Structure 1
Amino acid sequence: MSGEQRAGRPEFRVWAVDGLPEVREGDDLAKLIAAAEPDLADGDVVLVTSKVVSKAEGRIMAAADREAAIDAETVRVVARRGTLRIVENRQGLVMAAAGVDASNTPAGTVLLLPEDPDASAHAIREGLRAALGVEVGVVVTDTFGRPWRNGLTDVGIGAAGVRVLDDLRGGTDAFGNPLSATVVALADELAAAGDLVKGKAAGRPVAVVRGLPHLVGDQDDASGARALVRSARDDMFRLGTSEAVREAVAQRRTVRAFTDEPVDAGAVRRAVAAAVTAPAPHHTTPWRFVLLESEESRVRLLDAMKDAWIADLRRDGKSEESIAKRVRRGDVLRDAPYLVVPCLVMEGSHHYGDARRDGAEREMFVVAMGAGVQNFLVALAGERLGSAWVSSTMFCRDVVREVLDLPESWDPMGAVAVGHPAGEPRARAERDAETFLTVR
C-alpha cells in the first residue's frame, strides 16, 4: 500500500527487508538491520522474527530430545492431546511446545524463545537509533495458533517504542453506541501484517511498516508486549478440558472465611447439574439439593440446629465453656452468604429382608451421595467459589426436615457453606499418591 495519505484516507506500506545474512550468536541485530535497510525513517515499525533474535542471543540448545527442552521451558501445562502440548512458558506466553523450535537450526539443536523479548526489542530499538538516528518502534514476533480458529498467525511477544494496545473502552462507535469491551491488540495486528510479506520459509526475518507514526513514540514503559498477556484472573480459558478438571479438584479447599460478595445462584445451579452426573446404584437419582438463598431461611435453620446441638451437648455432660467453643466452630455456616443442604433419598433401593444386605444397600446409596457432593464441591471450585462441607445437619435430621419442610424420606447429609473466599487458601499438605496404593 502507498504510505501517502490520499484525500485523508488512512494507508500504510509494509515490506520485507532483503539482504540480511544468516544470523549467528553474538551478532548485533540492529547493525545488521541498519545495513540492510539504511532508509528507515522516524515513525517506522520494525518487525523482527523471534527466531533471529534467539540466534543472536545464543538461545540455541543442544537437545537430542525436543520434548526435554519443552519440559525445561514449561511452567504449566494448559492442555495436552497426544504429543501436542499447549503450555505456559517462562516468558508467561501460552503457546504450543513452549515456543521451542527445531526448524532452521542445525540438527541436534533447538531454538528457545528470547529470555526477555521486551528487553530484546528495546535493545534493537536503541541500536537503530544509534546507527541511523531514527525513532522507530520494534516488535519481536512469533507464530501462534489461536483458540477457536484454524491456522497460524504472527503475534507480538516483545515490543519497544510501540503502543501495543489501543483501549477504546469509554468511547463510542460511528452510531454513538458505547464501546465497553473493545481493546485492540495493535502489536499483534502489526506482526500479522509483517508476516504477510516475510513469509514462513522465505528467509526474510524482518519487515517494516511505514505510515502509522501515531503508534510509535517514547512508549518504553515497563509492560511492553507483556501487556498483551491476559492475567490468570481474567482468563476464562486458562486450562484445557482434562486439565481444568484436575485443576478444579486440586484447587478445591475447605474455605472458612467468606467475603460479603453475593453468590451467583446460576453458578450454584450449574454445580448441582454437575453433582447429579455422579454414579448411583440401580439407575437411581438419590441426590436432592436444598438451596437456602435467603438470609431468613439460613438464620431460621441455623438457630434451630444450634438449639438442638446445645441440648445434645448438655445431655452429654459438656461444660458451658466447651459447648460455646464447639458452637463457634459452626460459625462458618452462619458467616457464609449461601447455604446448600444435600439430601439423600433411597427411592429405587432394594429391600432384601436381612440386616446385612439391607445395610450394604444403604451404604451403596451413601457412597453415591458422597460422589454427588464431591462433584458439587469441585464444580463450585471451577466457578471460583469457595465451599465448606459441614456434617452438622446429619445430627439433627428431624429438626432440619421440620424447619425446611422436607419430606420424611429426605435425609440431610450435612450442609455446604458457599461464598467467595476472603483470602488465599492455605497450601494443602503434600500427599504422595503412591502411599495410598496397594497393587496385587
Structure 2
Amino acid sequence: MTSYTVRALPGLPEIAAGDDLTKLIASAEPGLVDGDILLVTSKIVSKAEGRLVAARDRESAIDAETVRVVARRGPLRIVENRQGLVMAAAGVDASNTPAGTVLLLPEDPDASARTIRDGLRETLGVEIGVIVTDTFGRPWRNGLTDVAIGAAGVRVLDDLRGGTDAHGNPLSATVVAVADELAAAGDLVKGKADGLPVAVVRGLGHLVGPQSSSEDSARAIVRSAADDMFRLGTSEAVREAVTQRRTVREFTDEPVDPDAVRRAVAAAVTAPAPHHTTPWRFVLLETATAREELLDAMRDAWIADLRRDGKSEESIAKRVRRGEVLRRAPYLVVPCLVMDGSHHYGDARRDTAEREMFVVATGAGVQNFLVALAGERLGSAWVSSTMFCPDVVRRVLRLPDHWDPMGAVAVGHAAAAPRQRPAREASDFITVR
C-alpha cells in the first residue's frame, strides 16, 4: 500500500528581499532525499524576489496586476492576473506587510520553482520536486485551500484517460490535479500564524523526475479560454453576451443544431409583454425546400415592388443581389407578432399605442433570441424583409392570418469573426432629469 508523510519545515527565518531561499531551506532541512516534494508558500518566494512594492492602496495594485475582470461583486473582484491565474484580487496581498506596501505574486512561479529545485540539487545533491503554492477560493465550494501556481520536477497532472477502472469501465475524462492535491495536503501542516511556510512530502517519489516542460508547469492546470465554460461571472456574462452579439452575414456550411435554436426560443419568450400576453411566435425553417420556397416568393414580390417604383432592371438586379444574406444561411427563423389578448379601444390614438406595445414586446423577444443564439456560438442576422410582404409569407408558410411576420433571422456558424466596431459612449444616449 502506498503511503506518504507531510511535515512542515521549521527553522526558517523571516524572509526579506534578496534572501537565498535555496540556502535557507537547505540549512533548515539538510536531510532532504531524492523523491521528496517541497511545498513552498508563494509569499516567501515573493518576498525573496523583491515583489513587495509601494502602492497607494490595494485596489490600485489590483488594477495594475489585472488582465481581465471575471466577476465583480461590490469591492470583491475575481480577475485573471498577469500570471494567467484566475483568482480573487489578482493575488495581491496586503496582510503582514508594512503600511503603504503590498505583496505581489512571483513574476513567474514556474521559474521560481525551477530555481529552488536546481539550487537544492547543487547544494544537497538531491533530485526533488518543488511546488509553489497559494491560497485560492473555488467557484463551487465554500472555503479556501492551497493550490499549485508554480512547479518544477514534479508531475502536475495525472492523465488516466484511456485506462479502465476496477470494473473494466473505460476512463474517458479523468485527469487528476496531482499538484493541487499536494498543495492542499501541505496546507494542513503549514500556517501563516505559525511561521511555517514550507512543507515536505515524502513517499511519492514516482511523481518526481525530469518531466517535460509541459508536464511540470503549473500553467498546465489552468484551463485555456476555449475550454473554460465559466469564463465570466453571471452579470459579466450577461453584459458580454449583449455587447458581443453582432450581425453575421457570412456562414459556413456546418449544420445548425435545432436544439440550440429551440433553447434560444425558450430564452426569447421570457421577454416582457403587455397584459400578461405571449405575443411571440417563431417559425423555424429547417429544410432547404421551405427556405427556398419562401425566399423565391419574397424575391418575386420585391422585384414586383421595385418595378412598380420604376427601377431599371439593372438596378433591380443589384438590389436583389445585396439581399441574398438569407440565402447564404443554413437555417432561417421567422419571428411573428400575434395580438392575442390586446385591448381594443375604438380610438385611433390608443389602438395605435396598443399595437406599438406589442411590437416593442416582439422586438424584446427577438433581441433575447439573438443574444441566446450568440451564447450557443451561432451567428445571426435580423433582416426586415418579411415585414414588406406579410401576405406572401403567410401564404407560403401556411400561417394564420393574424400572425404578422417581423422580419427573418438568418442563423448559422460565422464564417469569420465580425469586424470590430467603435465603442458607443453610453452618455451619448442618456438624458437625466
Compared CA separation, residues 20 and 432, structure 1 to 2 (3 A): same
SS at 2:189 equivalent: helix
Aligned match for 1:86, one of 66, 69, 78: 78
Kindly indicate whether residue 238 of structure 2 is the aligned counterpart of residue 225 of structure 1: no
**1:188: Cα distance to partner?**
0.6
Kindly indicate whether residue 401 of structure 2 is the aligned counterpart of residue 381 of structure 1: no
Partner of 1:401: 394
Aligned match for 1:292, one of 285, 288, 291: 285
1:379-420 residue CA offsets vs partner (Å, 9 max, x unmatched): 112222211111111111111111111111111111111222
Partners of 1:220 and 1:31 lie apart in 2 by: 26
Normalising by structure 1, we get a TM-score of 0.94
Runs of 4+ residues over 6 Å off in structure 1: none
SS at 1:340 equivalent: strand
Structure 2: runs of 5 or more not aligned: none
Aligned match for 2:62, one of 42, 48, 70: 70
Aligned match for 1:425, one of 395, 418, 426: 418
Partner of 1:138: 130
Matches of residues 197-208 of structure 1 in structure 2 within 5 Å? 197-208=189-200
How well do the aligned residues superpose, as a CA RMSD in angstroms?
Answer: 1.7
Partners of 1:432 and 1:230 lie apart in 2 by: 33
Partner of 2:18: 26
Partner of 2:316: 323
SS at 2:188 equivalent: helix
Matches of residues 296-315 of structure 1 in structure 2 within 5 Å? 296-315=289-308
**1:220: Cα distance to partner?**
4.5
Partner of 2:253: 260
Kindly indicate whether residue 160 of structure 2 is the aligned counterpart of residue 168 of structure 1: yes
Comparing 221-230 and 29-38, the one that deviates more: 221-230
1:46-68 residue CA offsets vs partner (Å, 9 max, x unmatched): 11111111111111122342122
Partners of 2:175 and 2:287 lie apart in 1 by: 39
Matches of residues 103-122 of structure 1 in structure 2 within 5 Å? 103-122=95-114
Compared CA separation, residues 184 and 321, structure 1 to 2 (3 A): farther
Aligned match for 1:415, one of 408, 415, 418: 408
Name the count of aligned residue pairs: 432
Q: Is the 8 A contact 1:160 1:220 kept in 2?
A: no
Partners of 1:413 and 1:200 lie apart in 2 by: 63
Partners of 2:321 and 2:194 lie apart in 1 by: 72
Aligned match for 2:228, one of 235, 239, 242: 235
Return the letter of the residue paired with 1:238: R
Partner of 1:5: none
Return the letter of the residue paired with 1:70: I
Partners of 1:27 and 1:322 lie apart in 2 by: 79
Q: Is the 8 A contact 2:190 2:196 kept in 1?
A: yes
**1:108: Cα distance to partner?**
2.7
Partners of 1:328 and 1:35 lie apart in 2 by: 79
Partners of 1:253 and 1:108 lie apart in 2 by: 45
Compared CA separation, residues 11 and 408, structure 1 to 2 (3 A): same
Comparing 220-229 and 363-372, the one that deviates more: 220-229
Partners of 2:383 and 2:326 lie apart in 1 by: 8
Q: Is the 8 A contact 2:271 2:364 kept in 1?
A: yes
Partner of 1:3: none
**1:70: Cα distance to partner?**
1.5
Return the letter of the residue paired with 1:69: A
Return the letter of the residue paired with 2:379: G
Return the letter of the residue paired with 2:258: A
Matches of residues 54-65 of structure 1 in structure 2 within 5 Å? 54-65=46-57
Compared CA separation, residues 214 and 319, structure 1 to 2 (3 A): farther
**1:300: Cα distance to partner?**
2.1
1:345-372 residue CA offsets vs partner (Å, 9 max, x unmatched): 1112222223222222211211111111
Q: Is the 8 A contact 2:214 2:220 kept in 1?
A: no
Partner of 2:42: 50
Q: Is the 8 A contact 2:280 2:336 kept in 1?
A: yes
**1:222: Cα distance to partner?**
5.1
Partners of 2:228 and 2:73 lie apart in 1 by: 21
Return the letter of the residue paired with 1:410: W
SS at 2:399 equivalent: coil
Partners of 1:220 and 1:136 lie apart in 2 by: 15
Partners of 1:200 and 1:403 lie apart in 2 by: 73
